[in-house]
Amino acid sequence: MSTGKTTADASHNPFRYGALALDDSFTDREEEVSELTQDALNGQDVVIFAPRRYGKSSLIWKVSQELLSRRALVAQVNLMTTPTIDRLADKLARTLYDDVASPLFRAKERLSVFQGLRVRPIVTVDPNDGSISFSFDSAVRRQDMHATIERLLELLGQLAGERKRSVVLILDEFQEIADIDPDLPRLMRSVFQEQPEVAHIYLGSKRHMMQRIFNDQNEPFWRSAKQLELGTIPSKPFSRFVTRGFRRTARAVEPAAVELILDITGGHPYATQELCYFTWQDTGPGQTATVESVESALEGVLNSEHAHFTLVWERASAHQRLLLGALSREPGHPLSSDYRHRHGLPSPSSVQRALEALEQAELAGRERGRWWICEPFLATWLLRNS
């Protein structure tokens, strides 16, 4: 949570969307930060579930800073950037060298940790900054590359144990694992269950795939990690955050305006930051943001998101469009006969298929049979353009 300190530069917008929300832009999540930090220090594996734009990456960045301040070693690999098994080995070797070996060993000793790998990496030194990168030959036998990745993962536990340091491996976009190599989930699970001294944190942007990996009893990672569900941010801390954001940049915001912002966004992290960003832009130094300011800012948001929402609409099937329109007007129970009759929806089976597709695309969410549109501002855009 922001400390609310006044900054010297009042010309910079304090609200962030699209990129990571860092430092003063990071909002609340104090309980989640504390819980995740303690879990990691305890060696507890955790998988984080959340819809898109709920701030998973910003949360993990904050947790990483907390862990580093407590002398934990934090390694991170984004599997979206490792489409092949040799590229995954490249990334693992790089993060092992930079984030684990470098804090533990003198420069001359760091490369020695890679002795004994089945496949030897090609080590390249950047002449500009002296940084080290690794690459593995993609033409080697698949089983040799499997053995190499297995050893790289084992090194995390070995180094943690030898130096009595907590090690945390963060695997982002983890749903990509099977696409990289169908044997990787089983290989990774066999290594991870033998290294209690290493905490593994899993994130992914495709919620339905992540849930299958960790909740399907036929998958190697079934029930292998504590599950943490990120929700929206409560109105009270978010209200304080918004008010402080304006105050520390020589502006003010009416309580009614803050209430309207949170009523529109429902505490959705990305949407709230976005609407606050546009509201702040329309409020000059020494001025106060009003309800009218927020309403004007909402128009700016919708104009900014128009191209994205148009593409969403064009990609949707006819039944999905009917359902999106209905949910924009009335969140509720679209499988019930009354609801389908009111909104002219097709048969239950057709509605069910459309719901499943919208849920996989993270355009619609549900709880206890009640459905709503979860994409920020899409419902408002649909109502304005239908």
**Using one digit for the tens of pLDDT, what is the confidence trace for 48-78?**
987 777 778 888 988 999 999 999 999 999 9
Residue 179 has pLDDT above 60, yes or no: yes
Q: For residue 27, what pLDDT band results from cuts at 50, 70 and 90?
A: low
What is the model's pLDDT at position 247?
94
83 and 191 co-located in one domain: yes
CATH number at residue 298: 1.10.8.60
Residue 12 is assigned to a structural domain of this protein: no
Mean pLDDT (whole number) for 228-239: 87
Residue 355 is assigned to a structural domain of this protein: yes
CATH number at residue 363: 1.10.10.10
Residue 20 is assigned to a structural domain of this protein: no
Mean pLDDT (whole number) for 209-215: 93
| Full-model pTM | 0.79
337 and 208 co-located in one domain: no
161 and 33 co-located in one domain: yes
Residue 149 has pLDDT above 50, yes or no: yes
Range of the domain at 263: 235-306
Q: For residue 19, what pLDDT band results from cuts at 50, 70 and 90?
A: low
Q: What is the mean pLDDT of the chain?
A: 90
Q: For residue 131, what pLDDT band results from cuts at 50, 70 and 90?
A: confident
Residue 21 is assigned to a structural domain of this protein: no
133 and 78 co-located in one domain: yes
Q: For residue 326, what pLDDT band results from cuts at 50, 70 and 90?
A: very high
Mean pLDDT (whole number) for 288-302: 97
285 and 329 co-located in one domain: no
Pick the last residue of a domain from 229, 244, 260: 229
What is the model's pLDDT at position 3?
38
Residue 301 is assigned to a structural domain of this protein: yes
Residue 201 has pLDDT above 90, yes or no: yes
The structural domain count of the chain equals 3
Pick the last residue of a domain from 188, 206, 229: 229
340 and 255 co-located in one domain: no
Residue 78 is assigned to a structural domain of this protein: yes
185 and 295 co-located in one domain: no
110 and 153 co-located in one domain: yes
What span, in angstroms and rounded, lies between the C-alpha atoms of 205 and 112? Answer: 36
50 and 184 co-located in one domain: yes
Pick the last residue of a domain from 267, 283, 306: 306
175 and 107 co-located in one domain: yes
207 and 129 co-located in one domain: yes
Who wins on pLDDT, 129 or 226?
A: 226
122 and 208 co-located in one domain: yes
